[in-house]
Every structure is written in C-alpha cells, then in structure tokens.
Homo-oligomer: A and B are copies of this chain.
C-alpha cells in the first residue's frame, strides 16, 4: 500500500488554515509590465473571512505598485518536516502551501482600515492589539492597507513518509521523518522597559502551533 502523500487542495477551510498559520507571506508582482521582471517580497498578512489584508508604509514601493490593481500572487509555505528516503531522488519535505492569485484594492474606509490592522496584528500575536497603544491619526495617514479577495486560491501539501520503491527498502540507509517546529526563545525586554513590567501572558512559550 502506497499513500498519496502529495496532493492539491481546493477546500476553503484548508486554504484559510494555512494562511492563518504562516507568519509571513511572499507577494509576487510585476512593477513594470514592459520588462516583465517579477519581484517577490515577504510581508505579514491578516485574514478576515475571504479577505486577505496587507499593510505597510505609504512609501513602500511594493504597496504603491499593488495599489494600482496589477495582478499579484500571494504564497505562504509551512515546512513541517524533512523526509529522508533511502535514495537521493525520493528525498523531500513535508509542507503545506497556499497560493492566491488576484489583484489588491486600496482600503479607504476608516473602520475597515483599523479592523484590517487589528486582524494583521492579532494573527501575528493574538492578544497584543488590546495591550498596546492604538494607531494615531498621523500614523494611519502613513499606512497603506490593501485587501485581496481570496477567490482564486489553491493549496498543496505533502504528508507522510518517503515513497521508496520496494527495491530501495532493502538498503541499509535510515529513512524517516524529521519534524520541524517553530520554537519561541526567551523574551528579551527592551533596555528602556520600566522595571517590573512582566512579559504578558499572551506571549507564547515553547513550540508555536505555527511555522515560520
């Protein structure tokens, strides 16, 4: 019996779960259609239902290009394990990735902009938004918020052991899965932190449920 370890997934819940777990996404776009040179830039994202939010400085070249509603691709990847086969050829990774195609739109409604910033912050570190100073009007003026409708999206994932052919199973090499996790190290307080300010409870310790 062989498993079918690698597969495409079009289930909305699975795509959303992958997006939510990834700490950063990679955004692909072509600033100048004349030269057709794509750029791929990492950034953080948030999700509210079927809407993906991106944000950044109004000075960001990427956000200014994307705000012109050019085609983009947002990809997130979670690497779950190294998968060792007896052969070099069957060596692989277990992973989950999601790809969204679409175009971004500038979010202009003040309420939606603030909600998007909260959604991005809460996805990266749940609990932090309520325990920090909210953005000022001046800071909001320096911030671009973009939305992407998650409609043309797919996911791909691989799970399980390597697919060694029967002849390779007799070889003496070790085979198996080496799981990878994101581990949170000890919090380092800012040097100008008030003495006695405790690390908040919502700061995770140990293994994160999400991978970088």
Contacts and interface: CB of A to CB of B under 8 A. Distances in A.
Interface of A: 23-24, 26-30, 33, 35-42, 44, 70-75, 77-79, 81-82, 84-89, 91, 93, 95, 97, 99, 101, 117, 121, 124-125, 128-129, 131-136, 139, 143, 161-162, 164, 168-169, 171-194, 197-200, 203-204, 207-208, 211-212
Nearest to A173: B132
Q: How many copies does the complex hold?
A: 2
B40 A99 contact: yes
Nearest to A189: B176
Given A88-B128, A174-B200, A183-B183, 18 more contacts: A24-B77, A28-B38, A36-B71, A38-B38, A38-B72, A38-B73, A40-B40, A40-B74, A42-B75, A42-B97, A87-B135, A93-B124, A125-B178, A164-B192, A175-B190, A177-B188, A178-B185, A181-B183
19 contacts: A28-B28, A37-B73, A82-B124, A84-B132, A84-B203, A88-B117, A89-B133, A131-B174, A133-B173, A161-B188, A161-B191, A162-B190, A164-B192, A174-B197, A178-B185, A179-B188, A180-B185, A181-B182, A181-B185
Contacts of A37: 71, 73, 101
Given A97-B42, A174-B189, A180 B181 contact: no
A173 B133 CA distance: 8
Contacts of A77: 24, 26, 42
A30 B27 contact: no
A164 B187 contact: no
Contacts of A35: 71
Contacts of A179: 184-186, 188
A171 B139 CA distance: 17
A180 B206 CA distance: 10
Contacts of A162: 190
Contact of A176 (B86, B95, B193): B193
